[in-house]
Amino acid sequence: MGFILLINLVICIVKSTNGEPTYRTSYITESTGSECQTLQLDEPWTSPTVFSCYLACKQKFPGTCQSVTYNPDTLSCTPGSTAFGPIETLPSTIPDANSTDAIYFLNQPVPACNASLGFAVYDVCGTSACLHLSAVSLNYADAVQACADMGATLFVADSDARFSLFWEVSLNVLNQDTWLGLTDIAKEGQFVWDNGNLLSTWQGTYLWAPGVWGDGEDCAEAKHAGWPGIFGLNDVECWKSKYFICEPIGA
Protein backbone atom coordinates (compact mmCIF):
# COMPACT_ATOMS: atom_id res chain seq x y z
CA MET A 1 0.00 0.00 0.00
CA GLY A 2 2.79 2.41 0.91
CA PHE A 3 4.67 1.52 -2.29
CA ILE A 4 1.59 2.24 -4.44
CA LEU A 5 1.05 5.59 -2.72
CA LEU A 6 4.71 6.45 -3.18
CA ILE A 7 4.51 5.70 -6.93
CA ASN A 8 1.38 7.85 -7.20
CA LEU A 9 3.19 10.70 -5.44
CA VAL A 10 6.22 10.43 -7.72
CA ILE A 11 4.08 10.54 -10.84
CA CYS A 12 1.38 12.94 -9.81
CA ILE A 13 2.84 15.88 -7.85
CA VAL A 14 1.94 18.90 -9.98
CA LYS A 15 2.12 22.66 -9.65
CA SER A 16 -1.20 24.39 -8.99
CA THR A 17 -2.37 26.88 -11.59
CA ASN A 18 -4.79 29.77 -11.80
CA GLY A 19 -6.58 28.38 -14.86
CA GLU A 20 -10.18 27.30 -15.21
CA PRO A 21 -11.22 24.39 -12.96
CA THR A 22 -10.95 21.01 -14.68
CA TYR A 23 -11.48 17.38 -13.78
CA ARG A 24 -8.29 16.24 -12.07
CA THR A 25 -6.15 13.25 -12.96
CA SER A 26 -3.51 13.95 -10.30
CA TYR A 27 -3.46 12.87 -6.67
CA ILE A 28 -1.29 15.49 -5.02
CA THR A 29 -0.83 19.19 -5.78
CA GLU A 30 2.01 21.48 -4.68
CA SER A 31 1.25 25.07 -3.75
CA THR A 32 2.34 27.92 -1.45
CA GLY A 33 0.99 29.46 1.74
CA SER A 34 -0.26 32.49 -0.16
CA GLU A 35 -2.64 30.25 -2.14
CA CYS A 36 -3.44 27.27 0.10
CA GLN A 37 -3.17 26.46 3.79
CA THR A 38 -4.15 23.71 6.20
CA LEU A 39 -4.63 23.08 9.92
CA GLN A 40 -1.53 21.73 11.68
CA LEU A 41 -2.08 18.26 13.16
CA ASP A 42 1.16 17.80 15.09
CA GLU A 43 4.64 19.18 15.68
CA PRO A 44 7.00 18.97 12.67
CA TRP A 45 9.56 16.23 12.24
CA THR A 46 12.48 15.68 9.88
CA SER A 47 11.99 13.72 6.66
CA PRO A 48 14.58 13.24 3.90
CA THR A 49 12.04 13.78 1.09
CA VAL A 50 8.51 15.08 0.60
CA PHE A 51 7.48 11.54 -0.28
CA SER A 52 8.64 10.11 3.05
CA CYS A 53 7.06 13.13 4.75
CA TYR A 54 3.66 12.40 3.24
CA LEU A 55 3.88 8.66 3.88
CA ALA A 56 4.75 9.27 7.55
CA CYS A 57 1.80 11.67 7.85
CA LYS A 58 -0.63 9.10 6.40
CA GLN A 59 0.72 6.40 8.69
CA LYS A 60 0.52 8.56 11.82
CA PHE A 61 -2.86 10.16 11.00
CA PRO A 62 -4.56 7.70 8.61
CA GLY A 63 -8.00 9.26 8.90
CA THR A 64 -7.14 12.95 8.97
CA CYS A 65 -3.87 13.56 7.11
CA GLN A 66 -4.78 15.24 3.84
CA SER A 67 -1.75 17.49 3.37
CA VAL A 68 1.78 18.25 4.54
CA THR A 69 4.08 21.23 4.45
CA TYR A 70 7.69 20.55 3.57
CA ASN A 71 10.92 22.51 3.37
CA PRO A 72 13.61 20.82 1.24
CA ASP A 73 16.36 22.93 2.82
CA THR A 74 15.60 22.13 6.45
CA LEU A 75 13.85 18.79 5.72
CA SER A 76 11.06 19.93 8.04
CA CYS A 77 7.79 18.01 7.59
CA THR A 78 4.54 19.17 9.22
CA PRO A 79 1.29 17.17 8.98
CA GLY A 80 -1.96 18.89 8.03
CA SER A 81 -5.67 18.29 7.50
CA THR A 82 -7.71 19.13 4.38
CA ALA A 83 -6.28 22.11 2.51
CA PHE A 84 -8.24 25.32 1.93
CA GLY A 85 -7.74 28.84 0.66
CA PRO A 86 -6.31 31.31 3.19
CA ILE A 87 -8.87 32.23 5.88
CA GLU A 88 -8.11 35.29 7.97
CA THR A 89 -7.47 34.78 11.71
CA LEU A 90 -8.13 31.03 11.61
CA PRO A 91 -5.65 29.66 14.20
CA SER A 92 -2.94 27.07 13.57
CA THR A 93 -2.91 27.42 9.79
CA ILE A 94 0.22 26.43 7.88
CA PRO A 95 2.25 27.41 5.96
CA ASP A 96 2.42 31.14 6.58
CA ALA A 97 1.86 33.23 3.46
CA ASN A 98 5.49 34.36 3.60
CA SER A 99 6.94 30.96 4.42
CA THR A 100 9.37 29.15 2.13
CA ASP A 101 7.64 25.87 3.00
CA ALA A 102 5.56 24.34 0.22
CA ILE A 103 2.21 22.70 0.92
CA TYR A 104 1.33 19.38 -0.72
CA PHE A 105 -2.34 18.50 -0.52
CA LEU A 106 -4.51 15.57 -1.51
CA ASN A 107 -7.08 16.42 -4.18
CA GLN A 108 -10.54 15.55 -2.90
CA PRO A 109 -12.94 13.60 -5.17
CA VAL A 110 -14.50 15.67 -7.96
CA PRO A 111 -18.32 15.50 -7.82
CA ALA A 112 -20.44 14.57 -10.81
CA CYS A 113 -21.85 17.76 -12.32
CA ASN A 114 -24.69 18.28 -14.82
CA ALA A 115 -23.89 21.33 -16.93
CA SER A 116 -27.33 21.39 -18.58
CA LEU A 117 -28.78 23.59 -15.81
CA GLY A 118 -25.80 25.89 -15.62
CA PHE A 119 -23.85 23.95 -13.01
CA ALA A 120 -20.05 23.80 -13.16
CA VAL A 121 -17.23 22.42 -11.02
CA TYR A 122 -15.28 24.96 -8.96
CA ASP A 123 -12.12 24.07 -7.06
CA VAL A 124 -10.04 25.69 -4.32
CA CYS A 125 -6.97 23.91 -2.97
CA GLY A 126 -8.20 20.45 -3.90
CA THR A 127 -11.78 20.82 -2.64
CA SER A 128 -14.36 20.80 -5.44
CA ALA A 129 -18.08 21.48 -5.63
CA CYS A 130 -20.67 21.43 -8.40
CA LEU A 131 -22.27 24.87 -8.24
CA HIS A 132 -24.84 27.04 -10.00
CA LEU A 133 -24.13 30.78 -9.72
CA SER A 134 -27.25 32.90 -10.02
CA ALA A 135 -27.57 35.53 -12.72
CA VAL A 136 -30.25 37.45 -10.78
CA SER A 137 -30.79 38.56 -7.19
CA LEU A 138 -33.73 37.20 -5.17
CA ASN A 139 -34.96 37.33 -1.59
CA TYR A 140 -33.91 34.42 0.62
CA ALA A 141 -37.09 32.36 0.29
CA ASP A 142 -37.17 32.75 -3.49
CA ALA A 143 -33.46 31.87 -3.70
CA VAL A 144 -34.14 28.68 -1.71
CA GLN A 145 -36.99 27.84 -4.10
CA ALA A 146 -34.91 28.61 -7.20
CA CYS A 147 -32.29 26.13 -6.00
CA ALA A 148 -34.97 23.55 -5.13
CA ASP A 149 -36.40 23.83 -8.66
CA MET A 150 -32.99 22.65 -9.91
CA GLY A 151 -32.77 19.79 -7.40
CA ALA A 152 -30.35 21.80 -5.28
CA THR A 153 -30.00 23.78 -2.05
CA LEU A 154 -28.30 27.01 -1.11
CA PHE A 155 -24.60 26.33 -0.60
CA VAL A 156 -23.69 25.21 2.92
CA ALA A 157 -20.15 26.23 3.92
CA ASP A 158 -19.88 24.25 7.16
CA SER A 159 -16.18 23.33 6.99
CA ASP A 160 -12.91 25.20 6.55
CA ALA A 161 -12.50 23.93 2.99
CA ARG A 162 -16.09 24.61 1.93
CA PHE A 163 -16.05 28.05 3.55
CA SER A 164 -12.94 29.07 1.63
CA LEU A 165 -14.39 27.63 -1.59
CA PHE A 166 -17.60 29.61 -1.09
CA TRP A 167 -15.71 32.81 -0.34
CA GLU A 168 -13.48 32.45 -3.41
CA VAL A 169 -16.44 31.86 -5.74
CA SER A 170 -18.65 34.52 -4.15
CA LEU A 171 -15.96 37.22 -4.18
CA ASN A 172 -13.84 36.49 -7.24
CA VAL A 173 -16.23 34.72 -9.63
CA LEU A 174 -19.75 35.91 -8.83
CA ASN A 175 -18.46 39.15 -7.26
CA GLN A 176 -21.80 39.98 -5.66
CA ASP A 177 -23.32 40.02 -2.19
CA THR A 178 -24.34 36.37 -1.87
CA TRP A 179 -26.85 34.37 0.13
CA LEU A 180 -25.68 31.11 1.64
CA GLY A 181 -27.68 28.46 3.48
CA LEU A 182 -27.39 29.99 6.97
CA THR A 183 -30.08 31.58 9.17
CA ASP A 184 -31.10 32.18 12.78
CA ILE A 185 -34.82 32.05 11.97
CA ALA A 186 -35.56 29.24 14.44
CA LYS A 187 -33.78 30.89 17.38
CA GLU A 188 -32.52 34.46 17.39
CA GLY A 189 -28.75 34.60 17.64
CA GLN A 190 -28.20 30.88 16.95
CA PHE A 191 -27.17 30.54 13.32
CA VAL A 192 -27.76 27.14 11.78
CA TRP A 193 -26.74 25.86 8.37
CA ASP A 194 -29.60 24.60 6.23
CA ASN A 195 -28.33 21.02 6.73
CA GLY A 196 -28.91 21.36 10.48
CA ASN A 197 -25.29 21.93 11.56
CA LEU A 198 -24.58 24.83 13.89
CA LEU A 199 -22.31 27.66 12.78
CA SER A 200 -18.89 26.83 14.23
CA THR A 201 -17.28 29.05 16.85
CA TRP A 202 -14.56 30.33 14.54
CA GLN A 203 -17.01 30.96 11.67
CA GLY A 204 -19.14 32.92 14.13
CA THR A 205 -16.29 35.39 14.50
CA TYR A 206 -16.87 36.39 10.86
CA LEU A 207 -20.53 37.23 11.45
CA TRP A 208 -20.63 41.00 11.88
CA ALA A 209 -22.64 42.15 14.94
CA PRO A 210 -25.52 39.65 14.55
CA GLY A 211 -28.89 41.19 15.33
CA VAL A 212 -27.44 44.53 16.36
CA TRP A 213 -29.83 46.46 14.10
CA GLY A 214 -32.92 44.51 15.13
CA ASP A 215 -34.50 41.08 15.33
CA GLY A 216 -35.40 40.94 11.62
CA GLU A 217 -31.88 40.19 10.44
CA ASP A 218 -32.25 36.43 10.22
CA CYS A 219 -30.45 35.48 6.98
CA ALA A 220 -26.71 35.46 6.31
CA GLU A 221 -24.89 36.84 3.29
CA ALA A 222 -21.31 37.24 2.15
CA LYS A 223 -21.07 41.01 2.02
CA HIS A 224 -18.82 42.49 -0.67
CA ALA A 225 -20.39 45.73 -1.93
CA GLY A 226 -19.17 48.65 0.16
CA TRP A 227 -16.90 46.36 2.20
CA PRO A 228 -13.78 46.11 0.02
CA GLY A 229 -11.15 43.81 1.46
CA ILE A 230 -13.29 42.81 4.46
CA PHE A 231 -13.54 39.07 5.11
CA GLY A 232 -16.84 38.39 6.81
CA LEU A 233 -20.49 37.45 6.83
CA ASN A 234 -23.39 39.76 7.49
CA ASP A 235 -26.88 39.06 8.83
CA VAL A 236 -29.63 40.96 7.02
CA GLU A 237 -33.38 40.95 6.53
CA CYS A 238 -34.46 37.91 4.52
CA TRP A 239 -36.69 39.98 2.20
CA LYS A 240 -33.71 41.72 0.66
CA SER A 241 -32.53 40.61 -2.77
CA LYS A 242 -29.11 38.98 -3.09
CA TYR A 243 -27.34 36.73 -5.56
CA PHE A 244 -26.96 33.12 -4.50
CA ILE A 245 -25.09 29.86 -5.09
CA CYS A 246 -26.82 26.48 -5.41
CA GLU A 247 -25.37 22.98 -4.95
CA PRO A 248 -27.14 19.79 -6.10
CA ILE A 249 -28.73 17.71 -3.35
CA GLY A 250 -26.52 14.75 -2.52
CA ALA A 251 -23.46 16.20 -4.28
Find the CATH number of the domain harbouring 137: 3.10.100.10
Tell me which of 106, 138, 166 is where a domain ends.
106
- Find, among 105, 107, 158, 152, the residue nearest to 130 by Cα: 152
pTM of the model: 0.82
Same structural domain, 58 and 123: no
* pLDDT score of 8: 46
Same structural domain, 52 and 176: no
Same structural domain, 141 and 229: yes
Tell me which of 72, 106, 140 is where a domain ends.
106
Same structural domain, 120 and 183: yes
Tell me which of 106, 130, 156 is where a domain ends.
106
DSSP string, 38-99: EEB-S--EE-SSHHHHHHHHHHHSTTT--EEEEETTTTEEEEE-S-BS--TT-TTEES-TT-
Same structural domain, 92 and 7: yes
Same structural domain, 146 and 51: no
* pLDDT score of 12: 44
Same structural domain, 145 and 92: no
Low pLDDT (below 70) residues in the chain: 1-26, 89, 208-215, 226-231, 251
Same structural domain, 60 and 126: no
Same structural domain, 71 and 155: no
CATH number for 93: 3.50.4.10
* pLDDT score of 215: 60
Same structural domain, 212 and 187: yes
Report CA Rg, the chain. 19
Domain that holds residue 65: 2-106
Same structural domain, 91 and 136: no
CA distance 30 to 17: 10
Same structural domain, 130 and 222: yes
Query: What is the number of structural domains in the chain?
Result: 2
